[in-house]
């Protein structure tokens, strides 16, 4: 009988080892599934942001209502750039929507306090011949102020239009992006 209980003890020990190995395997699979889910969620978030940007462009206001274009004393290009680069939530949808909506204005966001606040400045920048698509693309791809400074090097007229726009965006969207 003692040999039976010894055998049963060994079988239980093997079963427990198998359960532990199984649980570990399931945990690894769960972590892998969770990381794939996070990648998918991130993809959905990025696509949602792109859809929101397209939506803002699609419903951009064409009316010439007078809207305040600047808040208080404008910041220098360096001050506004430093402010915007330091925003911890600059990649979040609410922040990006504010930046786009403040520049474009949108009927669909007419109740938002930031809607079209910087629209006149954005239109003035767009009308400036020195603000070529290459300069604007360069600015859009930069993530730091030194890069933005190099994009504007030799484009003083564009810089003169970009500075008040960046100042307006830094002040208008600061609360959502900080």
For 19-41, the pLDDT digits (tens) are 554 444 444 444 444 444 444 44
Which residues of the chain carry a pLDDT beneath 70? 1-72
Comparing C-alpha atoms, which of 48, 134, 144 is closest to residue 96?
48
Q: What's the total number of domains in the chain?
A: 1
- Say if 151 falls within a structural domain: yes
- Say if 131 falls within a structural domain: yes
Q: Which domain holds residue 143?
A: 59-177
Comparing C-alpha atoms, which of 128, 152, 126, 124 is closest to residue 139?
152
- Say if 15 falls within a structural domain: no
- Say if 90 falls within a structural domain: yes
- Say if 14 falls within a structural domain: no
- Say if 53 falls within a structural domain: no
As given in the structure block, the two tokens for residue 150 are: 């190099």
For residue 52, the model assigns a pLDDT of 47
- Say if 156 falls within a structural domain: yes
- Say if 88 falls within a structural domain: yes
């Amino acid at each position: 009988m003692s040999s039976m209980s010894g055998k049963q003890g060994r079988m239980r020990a093997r079963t427990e080892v198998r359960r532990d190995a199984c649980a570990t395997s399931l945990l690894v699979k769960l972590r892998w599934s969770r990381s794939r889910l996070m990648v998918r969620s991130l993809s959905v978030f990025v696509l949602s942001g792109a859809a929101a940007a397209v939506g803002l462009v699609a419903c951009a206001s064409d009316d010439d209502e007078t809207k305040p274009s600047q808040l208080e004393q404008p910041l220098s290009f360096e001050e506004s750039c430093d402010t915007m680069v330091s925003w911890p939530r600059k990649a979040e949808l609410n922040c990006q929507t504010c930046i786009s909506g403040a520049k474009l204005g949108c009927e669909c966001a007419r109740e938002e306090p930031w809607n079209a606040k910087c629209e006149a400045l954005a239109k003035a920048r767009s009308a400036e011949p020195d603000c070529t698509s290459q300069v604007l693309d360069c600015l859009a791809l930069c993530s730091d102020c030194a890069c933005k400074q190099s994009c504007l090097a030799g484009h003083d007229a564009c810089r003169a239009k970009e500075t008040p726009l960046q100042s307006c965006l830094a002040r208008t969207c600061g609360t959502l992006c900080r």
